[in-house]
Structure 1
Amino acid sequence: MDGTVDGSWAVTGLDPLAGQVLEHLVAVPSADVTEIAGAVGVSSAEAERALRILADSSLVLRIDGTSPRWAAGPPRPSLGAVLARRRAELARAEGLLERLHEVYEEVSGPRAAHLVEVLEREDEVSARYGQLLKGSSAEVLHLAKPPYVTGPETSAGEFAVAHGVRMRSVYDTDGFTDVLSLDTALRGSGQGGELRLGSRLPVKLVVFDRAAALLPVRGDRPAAGSLVVHSPALVVALVALFESVWERAEPVSLETRHDGPVWKRGLTAVEPDRRTREILHLMATGMKDETIARVLKVSRRTVQKHVSDAGTLLGARTRFQIALLAQERGWLSERA
Structure 2
Amino acid sequence: MDVSSSDALWAGTGLGFLARQALEYLVSHPGADEDAVAAETGVSAAAARTALRSLEAELLAVRIAGQPARWSAGPPRSSLGALLARKRQELARAELYAEQLDEVYRTAPGRQIASDLFEVVESDEQVGARYAHLLRSSRHEVLHFARPPYVTRRITPTDTSTAAGAMVRPGVRLRSVYDSDGMADDGCLQTALGGTPTEGELRLLPGIPMKLVIFDRAAAIMPLRKDDPAAGSLVVHSSTLLEVLTALFESVWERAVPLSLESSPASHTAVPERQEGALHSRTRDILRLMSVGMKDDAIARALRLSRRTVQTHISDLGRQLGARTRFQIALLAQERGLLGDAEG
State the match for 2:99 in structure 1. Answer: 98
State the match for 2:274 in structure 1. Answer: 265
**Structure 1 length as normaliser, TM-score?**
0.90
Deviations 1:240-259 (A, max 9, x none): 11111112212222422644
User: What is the total number of aligned residue pairs between the two structures?
Assistant: 333
State the match for 1:37 in structure 2. Answer: 38
Q: CA RMSD in A?
A: 2.4
Q: How does 1:1-336 map to 2 (within 5 A)?
A: 1-2=2-3, 4-6=5-7, 8-108=9-109, 110-111=112-113, 113-149=115-151, 151=153, 158-160=163-165, 161-187=168-194, 190-254=197-261, 255-256=263-264, 258-259=266-267, 260-266=269-275, 269=276, 271-334=278-341
Q: Which consecutive unaligned segments of at least 5 residues does structure 1 have?
A: none
Sort the Cα spacing of 1:10 and 1:323 in 2 relative to 1 into closer, same or farther, 3 A. closer
Sort the Cα spacing of 1:7 and 1:313 in 2 relative to 1 into closer, same or farther, 3 A. closer
Residues 333 and 339 of structure 2 are in contact (CA less than 8 Å); yes or no, is this contact kept in structure 1? yes
Task: Give the residue type in structure 2 aligned to 1:146.
Answer: P
Match of 1:203, SS state, is coil
Sort the Cα spacing of 1:291 and 1:58 in 2 relative to 1 into closer, same or farther, 3 A. same
TM-aligned CA deviation for residue 189 of structure 1: 5.2
Cα distance between partner residues in 2 of 1:152 and 1:305:
38
Match of 1:217, SS state, is strand
Cα distance between partner residues in 2 of 1:62 and 1:168:
56
Cα distance between partner residues in 2 of 1:153 and 1:125:
11
Cα distance between partner residues in 1 of 2:208 and 2:155:
25
Deviations 1:252-306 (A, max 9, x none): 224226443334434xx36431211111110111011111111111101100111
Residues 261 and 273 of structure 1 are in contact (CA less than 8 Å); yes or no, is this contact kept in structure 2? no
Residues 170 and 196 of structure 1 are in contact (CA less than 8 Å); yes or no, is this contact kept in structure 2? yes
Residues 25 and 31 of structure 1 are in contact (CA less than 8 Å); yes or no, is this contact kept in structure 2? yes
Cα distance between partner residues in 1 of 2:288 and 2:161:
27
Match of 1:272, SS state, is coil
Residues 257 and 275 of structure 1 are in contact (CA less than 8 Å); yes or no, is this contact kept in structure 2? no
After the TM superposition, list the runs of 4 or more consecutive aligned residues in structure 1 that deviate by more than 6 angstroms.
Answer: 152-156
Deviations 1:116-142 (A, max 9, x none): 111222232222222222211111111
TM-aligned CA deviation for residue 112 of structure 1: 6.2
TM-aligned CA deviation for residue 206 of structure 1: 1.1
